[in-house]
Structure 1
């Protein structure tokens, strides 16, 4: 029997994760008081094999019962079973935005002060985060991307490490993404903007990508960029980094940066790395197409 503890920051996507895990055949139980974990494991043992994969959502909503979690997790191993911990996280800014959009109150700040609640929650979850088997940062993830990532890890079993790579295209005239770890300037590459029939399209369109990548400079740069990132990734993993944000910029963020980001993303995916592709500025300043 396999036990998965689903936990993490409030607003980071645990509800969506539960739905996905149920689709993958997990029997999921939300907000189980930790003190009852041993009782639940015993019930699962009595199922005579009917339950093979169990997902338990344990988080700060347990209130005063949360402090019983670590002793309760030991009870799983005492029964002879192993467990994994999935920790979902997101940046403070995104968590605050999600709470405001859903008009929910933070469980540790029922009277307001979402930021204070998030700060306290991070402190209380720190030990659990350090124990996590898998960690997913949903800051830049859509629901579909989260589902794909969970499926990759728990169904296809092709997880390679805890490092999630976010590849973002952007336009320098709109500013460099503040959360960038690595920034690459591709404004030296051939620019489709000066080709009338390509100007109103973006790097998402094959003809724009073909134009950019039809240059020996573009090919050489994209190969060297991949080689550099491939070299750096093991070192980031060794240092315990769980998120790497690679930002690739051109002037407007619609043609060259989108193309190179697309190429890098697919090369990393082919290598088996966990990667997500985002285009921050590809629709800004877009003219109506004929």
Structure 2
């Protein structure tokens, strides 16, 4: 029997993950009282010969003060030889605050206070669960379909879990450096397609711009050195336990050079299996939008 405990920060996607597991034929129970978990596990083992072979149990701060008992319950299950896995859903504080504002929901620990205060309390209470988690998925930048893909890989296809998600993000310096950047690279030293009339309306996703930017030796040399450094850093980040890395590459407007170099780095790293990889172009359409206004 496969027994998965789904937990994590409120607003990080726990309910969504449980629904995905339910769609994958897991028997799902959400917010079961902590004192009943051990008995529930025993009942599942007793019924193992039945059709229930996959179970997912949702646990979060709604358990109140009883959440503090969960560590002892898990120790008891381990001592009894019961095998379980912990999936922890997480997201950056700023993302969680934004999600709560958009849904106008009240954080379970915020009360009449601010959302960020409730998030801070919740992190403290869930810290022991995150430390014991077998899988940590940071949903800060994941689309629903991307989260479903990760859930399927781990709990349906039984593939090796890639705990580090790398986002390669192009941006324009005139719109500001993305606040969630871990690494920032400035490619404004490269020749600018903006000054070539036929290339100006195009973007780094278009072949003529890509060919122009990558037509200079300095572009290839920069890409080689950047790739070498990122490949050096990734194993160290994984060893440290980092699960989200944002590599931001910027030019003036975020339309030509940064897009081209971000796509090039993505291409060079896309065959790796130790981490999940995505590319995003933050400011690629802003120039055209501002001109229309």
Alignment of 1:202-217 (within 5 A): 202-217=203-218
Sort the Cα spacing of 1:258 and 1:159 in 2 relative to 1 into closer, same or farther, 3 A: farther
1:178/1:133 Cα in 2 relative to 1: closer, same or farther (>3 Å)? same
Output the CA distance in 2 between the equivalents of 1:156 and 1:266.
Answer: 25
Q: Which residue of 2 aligns with 1:285?
A: 287
Could you say which residue in structure 2 is the equivalent of 1:22? 22
| Cα displacement string for residues 18-51 of structure 1 (whole angstroms, at most 9, x for unaligned residues) | 2222233322221122221122222222141422
Can you give the 5+ residue segments of structure 2 that lack an aligned partner in the other structure? none
Cα separation, partners in 2 of 1:261 and 1:217, compared to 1, 3 Å:
same
Aligned to 1:250: 251
User: Where does residue 234 of structure 1 map in the other structure?
Assistant: 235
* Residue 258 (structure 1) shift: 1.6
Query: Is contact 1:174–1:252 with CA below 8 Å preserved after alignment?
Result: yes
Q: Which residue matches 1:271?
A: 272
In 2, Cα distance between equivalents of 1:194 and 1:111: 54
Counterparts of 2:19 and 2:224, CA distance in 1: 39
Q: Which runs of 5+ in 1 are unaligned?
A: none
C-alpha contact 1:105 1:112 (8 A) present in aligned 2: no
Report the alpha carbon displacement of residue 159 of structure 1 after superposing the two structures with TM: 3.7
Shift of 1:169: 1.0
Q: Which moved more, 1:112-121 or 1:148-157?
A: 148-157
CA-CA distance at 1:108 after TM superposition: 0.9
- Give matches, 1:219-230, under 5 Å: 219-230=220-231
The aligned residue for residue 101 of structure 1 is 102
Instruction: Report deviation, 1:206.
Output: 4.2
**RMSD between aligned residues:** 2.3
Instruction: Provide, for residues 61-86 of structure 1, a one-character-per-residue CA deviation record: whole Å limited to 9, x for no partner.
Output: 11122122112223433453322211
Tell me if structure 1 keeps the 8 A contact 2:153–2:161. no
Shift of 1:207: 4.2
User: CA distance change for structure 1 residues 211 and 149 in 2, over 3 Å: closer, same or farther?
Assistant: farther
SS of residue paired to 2:178:
coil
CA distance, structure 1, for counterparts of residue 268 and residue 152 of structure 2: 20
Q: For 2:264 and 2:29, how far apart are their aligned partners in 1?
A: 40
Q: Secondary structure at the match of 1:63?
A: helix
* Residue 67 (structure 2) pairs with residue 66 (structure 1): yes
Residue 40 of structure 1 is matched in structure 2 by: 40
Q: Kindly tell me: are residues 239 and 24 of structure 1, through their superposed partners in 2, closer, same or farther at Cα, counting changes over 3 Å?
A: same
For residues 62-211 of structure 1, the aligned pairs below 5 Å read 62-159=63-160, 161-211=162-212
Shift of the 151–212 alpha-carbon distance from structure 1 to 2, 3 Å rule, reads farther
Relative distance call for 1:39 and 1:206 in structure 2 (3 A) is farther
Detail structure 1 runs of 4+ shifted over 4 Å in the superposition.
Answer: none
Greater shift after overlay, 127-136 or 160-169? 160-169
Q: Whole-Å Cα distance in 2 between the matches of residues 12 and 180 of structure 1?
A: 20
**1:219/1:52 Cα in 2 relative to 1: closer, same or farther (>3 Å)?**
farther
Residue of structure 2 in register with 1:4 after alignment: 4
Provide closer, same or farther for how the CA distance between residues 149 and 47 of structure 1 changes in structure 2, counting only shifts above 3 A.
closer
Q: Distance in 1 between matches of 2:279 and 2:71?
A: 36
Q: Verify the 8 A CA contact 1:2 1:81 in the aligned structure 2.
A: no
